[in-house]
């Protein structure tokens, strides 16, 4: 797919041009693609004279505080003077991933759905633009910005770069499209300061993160004759390192680096409404499909990066997931 033959669906552009009170929302617990594409979309709409608001149930993550914001990232809809007339949903493989707060609004307000996940059920009521072949939702937003004649520079470009570089593992995963690379080249030509951005993105570890990584790496389990590496992070691990959810981001990618590993798994316990649950993150390479494993547990994602939330503790979740994970390599033999 080249940049030249990508065309943004006309009904999407028309919805963006027609509505005046736009609310932009991405999945809860935002990763850099969710938040970067939200901010970039707000900047792109602003260049057309429209002040869109950005909402995220869990707000701006601390590791993205260096980005210049088009306005505050709302975590509640209570302060809105009235309903928006359009909700722009970004990077959500299904509607539920937007979180609970926004669901009643989505029942009564038109929406557009812009995403790159497999099996997206096209939940937008006005338009859907879902391209699983795209590296990041940020890539789709870049083409929308171009179609709206918003120049890819300044804070808009920084937000897009953060989105695209994160979802491609800094342009190393199989989803790194020529189009994504061309967009970055174009933004660098427009003055994007890559060394400064990389510095802000990478050299920002908390001590809690360092301690958590040390503790978890020590007890990683190598299973299935070396084909599965699993990191179990208990509530106790999190507490004793004073770690936040963000501090565990990236561990699963490190496990995938072990020679011979086909599936890397992270199971991080968390408490919700007084009950224990586990956030599962799966990673693979090439044709090994972990999205199918996540889908068995009500989650989803992409072929090589997928996730799910399971109402079990980490040990039990590992036990129920292992047979499905085995299927990843057995299917190919
Ligand atoms: P993560 O492991 O959270 O970094 O997520 C990897 C990929 O799986 C991302 O594309 C997520 O959007 C997707 N994903 C993670 N958790 C879920 C879930 N509960 N339901 C659907 N997709 C998910
Ligand atoms: Mn995402
Ligand atoms: Mn994404």
pLDDT in tens, the chain (333 residues): 445 568 999 999 999 999 999 999 999 999 999 999 999 999 999 999 998 999 999 999 999 999 999 999 999 999 999 999 999 999 999 999 999 999 999 999 999 999 999 999 999 999 999 999 999 999 999 999 999 999 999 999 999 999 999 999 999 988 999 999 999 999 999 999 999 999 999 999 999 999 999 999 999 999 999 999 999 999 999 999 999 999 999 999 999 999 999 999 999 999 999 999 999 999 999 999 999 999 999 999 999 999 999 999 999 999 999 999 999 999 854
Residue 99 Cβ inside 6 Å of ligand 1? The answer reads no
In 3-state terms, what secondary structure has residue 110? coil
pLDDT value, residue 1 = 45
Residue 302 Cβ inside 6 Å of ligand 1? The answer reads yes
Choose the CATH number for 207-330 among 3.10.310.30, 1.10.10.10, 3.50.50.60, 3.10.20.600.
3.10.310.30
Question: What is the distance in A from the centroid of ligand 1 to the CA of 31?
Answer: 9
Residue 90 Cβ inside 6 Å of ligand 1? The answer reads no
CATH for the stretch 3-202: 3.90.1640.10
pLDDT value, residue 2 = 47
Residue 256 Cβ inside 6 Å of ligand 1? The answer reads no
Pocket test for ligand 1, best of 57, 119, 173, 301 (most atoms within 8 A of CB): 301
Q: 0.85 cut: is pTM over it?
A: yes
Residue 308 Cβ inside 6 Å of ligand 1? The answer reads yes
Return the domain boundaries, the chain.
3-202, 207-330
Quick one: angle between helices 137-147 and 178-189, nearest 10?
A: 60
From the centroid of its chain, how far is CA 98?
Answer: 11
**Alpha-carbon separation of residue 193 from 16, 186, 187 (angstroms):** 30, 12, 9
């Amino acid at each position: 797919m080249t940049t030249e033959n990508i065309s943004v669906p006309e009904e999407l552009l028309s919805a963006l041009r027609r509505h005046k009170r736009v609310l932009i929302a991405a999945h809860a617990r935002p990763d850099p693609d969710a938040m970067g594409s939200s901010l970039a979309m707000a900047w792109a709409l602003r260049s057309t004279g429209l002040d869109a608001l950005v909402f995220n149930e869990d707000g701006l993550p601390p590791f993205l505080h260096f980005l210049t914001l088009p306005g505050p990232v709302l975590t509640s809809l209570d302060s809105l003077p009235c309903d928006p007339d359009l909700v722009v949903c970004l990077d959500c493989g299904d509607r539920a991933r937007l979180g609970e707060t926004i669901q009643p609004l989505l029942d009564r307000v038109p929406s557009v759905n812009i995403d790159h996940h497999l099996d997206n059920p096209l939940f937008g009521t006005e338009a859907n633009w879902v391209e699983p072949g795209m590296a990041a939702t940020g890539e789709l937003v870049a083409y929308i910005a171009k179609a709206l004649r918003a120049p890819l520079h300044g804070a808009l470009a920084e937000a897009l770069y953060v989105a695209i570089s994160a979802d491609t593992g800094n342009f190393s995963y199989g989803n790194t499209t020529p189009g994504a690379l061309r967009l970055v080249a174009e933004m660098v030509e427009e003055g994007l300061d890559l060394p400064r951005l990389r510095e802000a993105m990478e050299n920002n570890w908390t001590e809690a993160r360092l301690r958590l990584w040390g503790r978890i790496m020590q007890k990683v389990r190598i299973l299935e004759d070396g084909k599965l590496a699993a990191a179990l992070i208990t509530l106790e691990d999190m507490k004793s390192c004073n770690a936040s959810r963000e501090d565990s981001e990236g561990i699963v990618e490190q496990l995938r680096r072990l020679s011979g590993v086909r599936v890397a798994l992270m199971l991080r316990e968390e408490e919700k409404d007084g009950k224990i649950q586990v956030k599962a993150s799966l990673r693979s390479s090439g044709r090994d499909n972990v999205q199918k494993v996540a889908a068995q547990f009500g989650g989803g994602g992409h072929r090589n990066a997928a996730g799910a939330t399971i109402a079990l503790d980490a040990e039990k979740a590992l036990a129920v997931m292992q047979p499905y994970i085995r299927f990843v390599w057995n299917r190919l033999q």
